[in-house]
Structure 1
Amino acid sequence: MDLDPSLTALHRLGGFFVLRTAGGADRRLPTLARTYGPGRPDVHGDPLTTRVRRVAGALGTPEERVAASVAQQGLAARLWSVALGCAALHGAVPDLAPPLLRWDPEAGAPDDLWLTEVRPLPGDAGTIARLVLHGHLEPLAGALRARHRLAPGLLRGNAASALAGAARELDRWGRRHGRTDVCARASSLAAELLAHPLLAGTGTLTGTAFRRRSCCLYYRVPGGGVCGDCCFGRPPRSSPRAPSG
């Protein structure tokens, strides 16, 4: 396994793939391990609540439930992008354990992440599932459900949508740069990960196109509409609570 200690190759893939490394992180920033831990939404300094409120303000929505969904999908997209990008380029991934990753909940999009130590691991689907699905997205979903009225199916759909989106971007980059090997590895990994028990049944992958079976609630953002992979063909009529899987 061979990983550049600075992970500089990821920078050329685009902003969602960038992972800052040693020396750049402000030690006052929370780790993702702390972010997923117990917290109280009414207490200043809870990183997850800070992020949800930051996203709500950026979207202009009074519904923290909607902002929580968008925030979760944004962080999921960053984690999948880093893992898939490294695996597709190098056949290896860095250890993304939550205590090793610092995060700025006040930053804009895409989420700012710093990895405090680069420890190479195999770039197979099983390792990526352990790092991203079990290491991050399960505890993140649990923390969000404890603070907001979010259905498990919605959060699983967000995770699957973010994974498919990362694979699609890698496929586009690979085709533009004549790296069919990157396209093939990204596609194979995405298909295997979407078959994982935590993501199975969340949608249908056809080539690089994904159609999910749940809705992320973005249509409830002022001026928002349905996403390209949404289960809805058009925004549902306004209602107190939308179907979310």
Structure 2
Amino acid sequence: MTKRKIFIACDTTKISEIKNIIKQTENSEISFGYKFGLEFLNSKNGRKFVSSLKHKITFGDYKIADIPNTCASTIKAVKDLNFNYITIHISSGLEALKAAKKVSGKTKLIGVSILTSLNNKALKEIGYKSDVKKLVYQQAKLAQKAKLDAIVCSAKEVKMVKKVFKKEIITPGIRFSSSNDDQKRVMTPKNAFAAGATSLVIGRPITKGNIKNNIKHLINHLKNDSKL
């Protein structure tokens, strides 16, 4: 059966930590990819390190949000890094999404919906009048219209998103327990896959502490899932 993907969030600027994460997560039972966020990508040696990675699934989490021309130019500027995935905020608008998609080539363009660190209260503070679910649903329709390759959303919105978006659905905000950290809309790995997610992004629950033990915990958590 096709393996489910787990993207490890490599949230550090230390190359030695990234190398250790990659070494410890080379596991035959799970297909791992590596997500590099702004913290690492903007660090002194981040770009050089990513360019040296071979035969790994890589995810450039730039969360691009700008006018159409700048979004497209940013995609072009990092093409030499050969990312498998790159993110762009759906809130950049349809024209920006189309412009970025037009130049993305083999790199899969992921539309980021409402961040999992936000809830209805936070959206109201920003100035949004719609709640999380309504906004994510509308953004999913926009992602489908722009022909994006994937979408990022909370696992709590996956079932709803699947109604209008027909490609990959990647879910962050994954926790093994009730500890949310700075996330608001979270779910366990097993429940996220059961909801219909195609890939998960997991950071601290795997990278903090004993990585191998954390992976064993993840495998045990999913062991009754025939599609692991």
Structure with more of its chain in strand, by fraction: 2
Does TM, scored on the shorter chain, surpass 0.5? no
Q: Which has a greater percent of helix?
A: 1
TM-score bracket, shorter-length normalisation? 0.3 to 0.5
Normalised TM-score (structure 1) = 0.35
